[in-house]
Structure 1
Amino acid sequence: MATAPKKKQTNNFSKFIKWFWILFTTGILAVVFIFLAASWGWFGELPTFERLENPQTNLATEIISSDGETLGKYYLDDNRTPIPFDELPKNLVDALVATEDARYFEHSGVDARGTIRAFAYLGSKGGASTISQQLAKQLFTGTAARGWERYTQKIKEWVIATRLERQYTKEEIIAMYFNIYDFGNNADGIRSAAKIYFSKEPKELNVSESAMLVGMFKNSSLYNPLPKRNPVGTKNRRDVVLAQMAKYEYIDEKLKDSLQKTPLALRYSPESHSDGLATYFRMHLQKFLNDWISKNPKPALKGERDKWNIYLDGLKVYTTIDSRMQKNAEDAVKEHMKRLQAEFFNQNTPDRNKTAPFLDISSDEINGILERAMKVSDRWRIMKSNGKSEKEIRASFKKPTPMVVFDWNSVGNEKDTLMTPLDSIRYYKSFLRTAMMSMEPQTGHVKAWVGGLNYKHFQYDNVIQGARQAGSTFKPFVYAAAIDQLRLSPCDQFPDDEYCIEPGKHGNIDAWCPKNSDGKFSLKNMSLKQALAGSVNSVTAQLMDKVGPRTVVNMAKNMGISAEIPEVPSIALGTPDVNVYEMVGAFGTFANEGVYVKPVLVTRIEDKNGTVLYEYVPETKDVLSKDVAFAMVDLLRGVVEGGSGGRLRGSYNKNNYLYKEIITGYPYNLNNPIAGKTGTTQNNSDGWFMGMVPNLVTGVWVGGEERATHFKSIAYGQGASMALPIWGLYMTKNYANKEIGVSDGNFKSPANMSINLDCSKVREEDRANSKPAEDDLDDIDF
C-alpha cells in the first residue's frame, strides 16, 4: 500500500517531462515555421536579393564645385545624399549603438536577450528592435501597422534583418541607417542633417551634436530642435543619449555632466532650391541635366525607371564653379548693387520723376508695360486656370494684399508689406538688374555665375536668358576683324573726323555718319589703341567700312556669338543684343591666344555608386592667330591704362560725389596687367564691363528689366559706373585669397610677334588729345 503513490507520482512527472518537450519542440517548430512562412511570402512580399543588394531609396542629386564643396542639391521630397561609414565620426556611431542597440556588434540581426526581455516584461523595460530591424522597417516595411498586421510586420522585419546581416557588414548597415533616416526640415539622412542643423560635414560633428542627432531617431517630429518647435525636449533627449554613452563607457561621467550643461548650439542653415550659393547657376544646370537625360537612357534593372531622375537617383554632378570665387562674385554684386539702387531711388522719387521708375516714355507706354507684366504673372495664370473671368482677375490686381517683397535694407533682403499686386509689379520694375559670369579662358571652365539680385524674387537669369545691346563692348570684334584682315597694328593711326559710309555700300542702307559720344571730333590722328581706349566712334566707323559688316559678323560668330546680327555698319557701335554668357566666351578668345573655347559647366557626372556616366569634351575653334589675339589684348589693356577702365587703377578723382556714394571699394588700385572694355547703350539703358587677366575673363552687365528704367545722367548710367565696380570688387576679393590662384602676371606673348605694339613714336600732342580727361566719361552708342 505504501509504494503505490510513489509510482503514480513518477508517472505524473514523466508525463510532465514528455509534455514539456512536446510543447517546447512544437514551439520551436512553430517559430521556425513562422519564419519559414514569412520567408516564403505568406505574410506579404519580401524584398528580393536584388532589392536587398540595391535598396530603392530616393537620393538627391548633389552639385559639387571644383574645389569640392556642395553647391546645392536637386530633390523633391527627399534631400538625401548617402555617405560611407568611414565618413561618420566615431562619437556618432558610439551614440547610436549606446542608445539604440548596445549589443549591436554581438548579434546577427535579432537580439535574443532583448526579445526575451521584451516578452517577459511586455515591453515595459524597453523594446527589442535592433538597428538592423529598424533599418529593415525603414527600407522595406514602412510605417508601423496595428493589430495582427503589426505582429506579421515584426516577423518580416526579423527575417529581413537577418538577411541584411548576411548581405552587408555591420559598418555598412550603420551607414545605411544614418543615410535613410528623415531628421526633419528637409534633413534627409545624416549628411543633410549635419549641414542643415550645424553647417558641418558629418565627420566634423562633436559629441554633443552627435548626441542630439541620434536623439532625434526616437521621433524627429517630436524632438525638433528649432526654436518654434521643441528645443527643450530635444535637449532633454540629447542628455539621455549622453547618459547612455556614459553608461556604456563611451564617454566618462565628467564629460557627460559637462556636455549636459551646454545648449544645443544650432547653426541652422535651411537648404532649398532658392537659397544658398549659385542659385541661378543651379537652375540653369538643371536644364543642362534634363537635356543630358533625354539623350542618355538609364541601364535599369527590371521594374526600375528607364530614365535618370535628378530628384531621385542620387547623381553626383561635378561642376567647374569655384565656391570661393562664386561667393566673391555674389558679395561683389550685393555690395555694389545695394548702393547703386539707393542712388537710383534717390534720383527717381515721385517729386523728381512723376513717371518713376520709367524715364522718357509716355503714360500709354507705361500702361503697356504694366499690362504685359500682369498677363504673364503667376497670379493671372493661376486665376485664369481656375476659371476666373478677366474682370475678376483685373480687380484682384487692384486689391491691397499682404506680401513679402525684396528690399535691400531689410534683414534677409525681405520685408512684409501691404500693397496691390499692380503696385508690386511697378515696385519690382524699379530695381536695376545685373548679370556676371567668370571663366577660365584656357579651359572654358565657368568659375562664377550670378544671374541676378536674388533668385527667390528675381528668377530671370540675365547671364544666359537676358540679351541686351552690347554697346562699345562689341567694338573689339570690329578691331579684331580689321587687324586680322588688314594686318593693322595697334599703333596705326586714323583721323578723328566725321566719317560717312556711303548709302548702299554695305547693304541697302542710307548714308551712315556716326558721331562721337560728345558730338565732337578732335580732327587729330590717333592710334587704334588710343581710339579704342577713348571709344572713338569715328575711327570704328572707318574700320567697319574697310572690312565690311559681313567680316565683323563672321568674326563674332566664330567667337561664339549666336545671336542674330544684321550685316549693317551700325553694328560697329554695339546695336546687337547679346548675353553675358556668350560675350565672356568670345572675349576668352583674346586671352587664349586666338582659340575660342566654349564655356563649360560640368566636367563629370557619376551615379550613386561612383560609375562615371558623362565626361565633357572641350569644344574649341581656332579663330585668330596668336599675333592678332595678343594685339587685341594690347589694345584692351589700353582701355584700363588710359581709358574709362582707368578707374581700376585709382586714377580718377576719389573725392567726386559719384565715387563716394555708389562706387563701393574705390579706389581698387589693381596695378597688375588688365585688359578690358566698358560699354554703354542709348539712354544709359545698359552698362557693361568686360575684364580680363591671363587666366580669368569676366563679364558684367547692369540695367533695368525695361529699357525705360535707367539713370538720366551718363555719370551714373555708363558702364564704368554701373558695371565696372562689380568687377573691381570681385577681383579685389579674389586677389585677397592667394589659394584661388587668379593671375596677377603678364599675358602670354607669342614667341615671334609680327605685329608692332611699340607706339612710342606717336606724337605726344596726339596722345594728349585722345586721352580722356579725369572726369571724361564712357561713350554712349547711338
Structure 2
Amino acid sequence: MTARRAAAGAVHEDLHRRSRRNEHQAAPRRTHPRSRHQCDAQRRGRHAIAADAAGAHSCPAGAGTLQFNVDLARRLARLPLLAVMIAVCAAVVTIGARASAPHAARTLDAVERDRDHITIDLRPGAQRTQVFDSDGSPIGILVNDVDREIITLDQVPDDVIATIVAVEDSKFWLHNGVDLRATARALVSNVSAGGIASGGSTITQQIVKLRVVGSERSFNRKIREAVIAARLEEDFTKEEILEFYVNEVYLGNGAYGLQAGAETYFGKDVSALDVGDAAFLASLIRSPGLFDGFDQNIDTMTRRRSRSLQQAVDAGIITEAQRDAFERRPLPSRNLSPRRTDVALRRDYFLVEVRRSLLANPALGDTYQARFSQVFGGGLRVWTTLRPELQRAMRTSVAEVLPEGTGEFEVSIVSVDPTTGAVHAFIGGPAFSDSEFNLATQGRRQPGSSFKTYVLAAAIERAGLYPFDTISGQGPCVFPNPPLDDYEVSNFANSPGRVATLEEQATASSNCAFVRLGLITGLDEVVGMANRLIGRSDADSYLPYPSISLGAQEITPLEQAVAYGTFANGGVRMEPFYVTRIENNFGEVLYEHVPHGRRVVSQTTADWVTSVLEENVRTGTGTRSTLESGQVSAGKTGTTQQFHDAWFVGFTPHMSTAVWMGHPDEQVPMGEIQERRATGGWIPARIWSAYMGRALEDEPLRVFAPAPPPPRASQYLFLSGDTCSIAVAVSPSEPPLEFDLPCSMVRPTDDNEFEPLPDALCKAAVPDTSGESRFEWLRCTQIATVLGARATEPVGDTGESPPPDSSDGAGEDSGADSTEEDQT
C-alpha cells in the first residue's frame, strides 16, 4: 500500500514540476503523435474498453495515415477551432446580438497571445491524512471540509474508467482538449437561449475550469477555457489528464475523487468498484449536491444512474442484461461512510490524541495554521504507536472481570512502553459517540494510595532513607498543618497500625506511616519528585499539603502509567508519544520520532522502589494482580475516600499499565461491587492481571534488576516532637510501667517495639521510707533496679500533636488500602 501511494505521489510531483513553467518562456510543443497513446493502449489492452467507447474510429494501419490525422488534429486545435468559435459568435449577429462578435474576437486574440505563458497547475488539491497503527494497518483518516486520497489509474478498474469517460466525455481519447461538435452545439444552444445554458465541456475543459478560469457563466470564459484546454493537451498525456480528473472531481458530501467517493457512498476501496457503482458516481459529477436531499431527489438520482448505465451500454462496456441487473440494485444508503465508520470509530479516542500531537508538531509548520493545513489537507501518512491487539485485550479483560458490566461507572486503562514512551493502547471511555471526554488522558482523579510510590521515591532519592528503615504507622494520628487545623488521619478500616519498615508500611498501605514519611522527607521534596515523575510544569505543580502523601491531588491514568514506567526504565522518564513517522503525499519523510527521556531518579532509587512494589504484588495489597505466567511485576493499589476512585498501577520490564475505575462525571461512591467494597486491590488489580496476561503472553519472562545491598544499618524515622512509648518491667507479677519519650531517645527493637537509649531519662514516682512517693528523673534502663516498689504515676514527655491541611480528599487513604481489605 505504501509503495503504491508513493508511486502516485511521484507521478503528481512530476506533473507539478512540468506544470510550473517560467512565465517568460514558451512551452515546448509535443513532437510525438497525439493519438498514438490511444492506439498503443489498444494494442497493450490498457484502456481498450475506454478507447472502444470513444467512438467509431479504430487505430490506423499505417504510420502515414496516423501522421495525417495527428497533423489535422493539431491544426484544429488552434486556427480551425478559433474559426469555428468566431463563426458561431458571428451567428450571434444574425440573431441580434451584434456587439458580441467583436468582443469575442478580441478575447480570442488576447488568449491566443498569452496561451504559452499561462501556468497550469496540476498539483493535487487538499487531501485526507491517513493514519496507520504500528503494523501499518489503517485506523482512520483526518479530514476537514475536503476528503481526498490520491490514486493512480492502475488502481481503478478499466470498466469503471471507461464508464466515467463514456458519461462525461465520450470523445476523450480522440479530441485535443475540445470536442468541436459538442462545443458548436452548446454555443448554438446558448445563443438561442440568450446566455450560457449548456456546457459541452470535455474532461480537459472541466479541469481548466477547476484550476484556471473558474465557473463564471460567460462566452469569454468558455473561449478561454477551450484555448487553455488545447494547451493542456499539448503539455500532458491523456492518462495524466484523466488521472488528475479522477482525483479532483467533486462527488458531494466532502468526497473529492473516486477513492473518497467509493468509500463515502459504497464503503469500499476504489479497486472494488464496478460499472453500477461508477454509473452512480458519474451521475453526481454534474450535480454533486444531489445526494444531500436524499428523500427529495431519489427519483432524479435513479433516472441519472439509468442514463449513465445506458451510455455504458451504448459504448459497449456492458450488455443490456447487465444494465438491467445494475438498475435493480438499490441506491447507496443515506447512512454514509460505512467503511470509514468501521475504521475510525473503533479507536476514535486514539485518533483525537494523534490529531492533537500532529497539530503541535513543528515539523509540519511554524504556525498553528500551517500545521492545520498540513494535517487536514496535506495528504499526510501518519504511522502511530497503536497496537490494536492490546486495545482488544483491554476490552476483553474488563468484560471478563466485570461480566455484568460496570453500570454507571467506567474503567480506563493505559499502556505505555517504559523504554520508549510509546503509548500502545488505552480505553478512553465507553464510546466516543457518547462522550468525547478522554478518561485516559484528560480524566484527572485522586490517586489515593497509588501516590505513596512517589513519596517513597522522594524519601529514598532526596532524604537518603531506605525501605529497611522503620517508621510508626500507628493510628489514628495527628500531624501539624499550620496555619490550619491539625491534620487528623486514620488507617484504612481504622486499623491500629504498628511500627514497621517502610517496605512493610507500603505493602500494608499505612496512611499514618506515609503522611509521617512525607513530612520527614519534606513536602516540597515530595512535590518536586511527583512533578518530575509525572511530567508536571511549575504552572501545573502539585501543592505541598500533608494530604498529598495520600493522593488527595489529581492525576490521569496516562500520567500514572508514564510515572510508574520510569521505575521500570531505571529512573529515566520517557516522554509519551503517539506518532512514530510522518510522510507527505510524495512519500518524503517529514518526521521520524526519536525517543527522548530524562533521568528523574537514580538507578539505585528506581531499583529500591521496584523492589518494594514487587513485594507489594507478592504479599501486600496488590496480590490479585499477580500474573499466572510467572512473569514478575510490581505495582500499587489506590482507593479514595468513600470509594470514589479505585486504581491499580503496575509494570513489568516490558510494559507499564494504569487501571482506573470510577464515575466518569462526578464523585459518586462505588460502594460494593461483586459483594466486596470497590477497592483498588479488588477490581482494578484483577483487570490489570487479566489484561497484562494477554498482553504479554508471547513475551519472554524477564526479571527486574535486584535492589542493591543495604548501605547502612536501619534507622528509626520520626518527626521532631514525635513521642514513642516504652514499657519497663519492674516486677514479673506486675504490668510494666509505660513511658512516653521523645522518639530521639529510643530505638526500635527487632519486634518493632521501642527500648530507651542508655542516656534516656524517665520521670518515675519513687517511694521513700515513709511510704510517700516523690517524682525523680532516673535513667530509664535503671528504673527496674532503682525502684523498690512499683512507681505509682510514671510521666513522660508527650510532645505536641501534629496538624492537618485544608484539602478535602485526604483523610484516610481516603478509603485507602489495607491488608484486611486487599490481601487474599
Normalising by structure 2, we get a TM-score of 0.61
Could you say which residue in structure 2 is the equivalent of 1:394?
Answer: none
SS at match of 2:160: helix
Could you say which residue in structure 2 is the equivalent of 1:438?
Answer: 415
CA distance in structure 2 between the partners assigned to 1:635 and 1:608 by the alignment: 50
CA contact (8 A) 2:251 2:261 kept: yes
For 2:444, give the aligned amino acid. Answer: A
For the pair 1:479 / 2:523, whether they are aligned, the reply is no
CA distance in structure 1 between the partners assigned to 2:532 and 2:206 by the alignment: 60
Could you say which residue in structure 2 is the equivalent of 1:222?
Answer: 290
Deviation by residue 1:278-313 (Cα, 9 ceiling, x = unmatched): 4444445555555457994479xxxxx978535764
Could you say which residue in structure 2 is the equivalent of 1:517?
Answer: 492
Kindly state the Cα deviation for residue 646 of structure 1 after the two structures are TM-superposed: 4.4
CA contact (8 A) 2:418 2:574 kept: yes
SS at match of 1:93: helix
Equivalent residues in 2 for 1:55-66, closer than 5 Å: 57-66=125-134
Could you say which residue in structure 2 is the equivalent of 1:584?
Answer: 561
For the pair 1:719 / 2:666, whether they are aligned, the reply is no
Report which stretch shifted further, 277-286 or 32-41.
32-41
CA distance in structure 1 between the partners assigned to 2:203 and 2:181 by the alignment: 15
CA distance in structure 1 between the partners assigned to 2:86 and 2:663 by the alignment: 78
For the pair 1:131 / 2:203, whether they are aligned, the reply is yes
Kindly state the Cα deviation for residue 599 of structure 1 after the two structures are TM-superposed: 0.9
CA distance in structure 1 between the partners assigned to 2:82 and 2:308 by the alignment: 41
For 2:700, give the aligned amino acid. Answer: G
Deviation by residue 1:397-424 (Cα, 9 ceiling, x = unmatched): xxxxxxxxxxxxxxxxxxxxxxxxxxxx
Distance change (3 Å), C-alpha of 1:205 and 1:500: same
Which of 638, 642, 650 in structure 2 is aligned with 1:679? 638
For the pair 1:745 / 2:700, whether they are aligned, the reply is yes
CA contact (8 A) 2:144 2:377 kept: no
Report which stretch shifted further, 535-544 or 155-164.
535-544
Could you say which residue in structure 2 is the equivalent of 1:629?
Answer: 606
Kindly state the Cα deviation for residue 595 of structure 1 after the two structures are TM-superposed: 1.5
RMSD (CA atoms): 5.2
Which of 253, 268, 271 in structure 2 is aligned with 1:200? 268
Could you say which residue in structure 2 is the equivalent of 1:690?
Answer: 649
CA distance in structure 1 between the partners assigned to 2:440 and 2:112 by the alignment: 57
For 1:566, give the aligned amino acid. Answer: L
CA contact (8 A) 1:274 1:456 kept: no
Kindly state the Cα deviation for residue 485 of structure 1 after the two structures are TM-superposed: 6.0
Could you say which residue in structure 1 is the equivalent of 2:384?
Answer: 320
Deviation by residue 1:94-150 (Cα, 9 ceiling, x = unmatched): 332343334433433223465567789999xx98432222233334445573xxx1x
CA distance in structure 1 between the partners assigned to 2:82 and 2:485 by the alignment: 106
SS at match of 2:147: coil
SS at match of 2:635: strand
For 2:511, give the aligned amino acid. Answer: N
Distance change (3 Å), C-alpha of 1:592 and 1:748: farther
CA contact (8 A) 1:496 1:524 kept: yes
CA distance in structure 2 between the partners assigned to 1:253 and 1:177 by the alignment: 28
For 2:490, give the aligned amino acid. Answer: K
CA distance in structure 1 between the partners assigned to 2:151 and 2:158 by the alignment: 14
For the pair 1:276 / 2:230, whether they are aligned, the reply is no
Which of 432, 451, 474 in structure 2 is aligned with 1:498? 474
Distance change (3 Å), C-alpha of 1:314 and 1:564: same
Deviation by residue 1:253-291 (Cα, 9 ceiling, x = unmatched): 776665555445768437699972444444455555554
Equivalent residues in 2 for 1:247-646, closer than 5 Å: 247-250=314-317, 261-263=328-330, 268-269=336-337, 276-292=345-361, 296-297=365-366, 309=373, 313-314=377-378, 316=380, 318=382, 320-322=384-386, 324=388, 328=392, 331=395, 343-344=407-408, 432=409, 435-484=412-461, 492=468, 494=470, 497-498=473-474, 514-521=489-496, 523=498, 528=503, 531-541=505-515, 543-544=517-518, 547-562=521-536, 563-626=540-603, 628-646=605-623
Distance change (3 Å), C-alpha of 1:692 and 1:47: farther
CA contact (8 A) 1:180 1:189 kept: yes
**Whose Rg is larger?**
2
Which of 235, 239, 251 in structure 2 is aligned with 1:183? 251
Which of 742, 754, 776 in structure 1 is aligned with 2:708? 754
Could you say which residue in structure 1 is the equivalent of 2:228?
Answer: 160
CA distance in structure 1 between the partners assigned to 2:498 and 2:367 by the alignment: 68
CA contact (8 A) 1:628 1:755 kept: no
Distance change (3 Å), C-alpha of 1:773 and 1:311: closer
Could you say which residue in structure 2 is the equivalent of 1:418?
Answer: none
Could you say which residue in structure 1 is the equivalent of 2:821?
Answer: 777
Distance change (3 Å), C-alpha of 1:474 and 1:59: same
CA distance in structure 2 between the partners assigned to 1:585 and 1:140 by the alignment: 53
Kindly state the Cα deviation for residue 621 of structure 1 after the two structures are TM-superposed: 0.7
CA contact (8 A) 2:626 2:633 kept: no
CA distance in structure 2 between the partners assigned to 1:774 and 1:508 by the alignment: 31
Could you say which residue in structure 2 is the equivalent of 1:351?
Answer: none
CA distance in structure 1 between the partners assigned to 2:494 and 2:122 by the alignment: 76
Distance change (3 Å), C-alpha of 1:773 and 1:512: closer
Kindly state the Cα deviation for residue 684 of structure 1 after the two structures are TM-superposed: 1.7
Could you say which residue in structure 2 is the equivalent of 1:27?
Answer: 83
CA contact (8 A) 1:78 1:186 kept: yes
CA distance in structure 1 between the partners assigned to 2:493 and 2:114 by the alignment: 82
For 1:161, give the aligned amino acid. Answer: A
Distance change (3 Å), C-alpha of 1:433 and 1:116: same
For 1:132, give the aligned amino acid. Answer: T
SS at match of 1:577: coil
SS at match of 1:719: coil
Distance change (3 Å), C-alpha of 1:98 and 1:559: same
Deviation by residue 1:136-171 (Cα, 9 ceiling, x = unmatched): 3334445573xxx1x333323323333433444433
CA distance in structure 1 between the partners assigned to 2:126 and 2:214 by the alignment: 14
CA contact (8 A) 2:459 2:466 kept: no
Which of 75, 99, 102 in structure 1 is aligned with 2:167? 99
SS at match of 2:253: coil
CA distance in structure 2 between the partners assigned to 1:341 and 1:26 by the alignment: 75
Structure 2 unaligned regions, length at least 5:
1-78, 90-101, 192-197, 711-750, 753-815
CA contact (8 A) 1:79 1:187 kept: yes
Distance change (3 Å), C-alpha of 1:38 and 1:560: farther
CA distance in structure 1 between the partners assigned to 2:703 and 2:322 by the alignment: 60
SS at match of 1:448: strand
For 1:212, give the aligned amino acid. Answer: F
Kindly state the Cα deviation for residue 498 of structure 1 after the two structures are TM-superposed: 0.5
For 2:281, give the aligned amino acid. Answer: L
Kindly state the Cα deviation for residue 695 of structure 1 after the two structures are TM-superposed: 3.5
Distance change (3 Å), C-alpha of 1:306 and 1:707: closer
CA distance in structure 1 between the partners assigned to 2:302 and 2:688 by the alignment: 47
SS at match of 1:777: helix
For 2:530, give the aligned amino acid. Answer: A
For 2:422, give the aligned amino acid. Answer: H
CA contact (8 A) 1:109 1:165 kept: yes
Distance change (3 Å), C-alpha of 1:49 and 1:333: farther
For 2:202, give the aligned amino acid. Answer: T
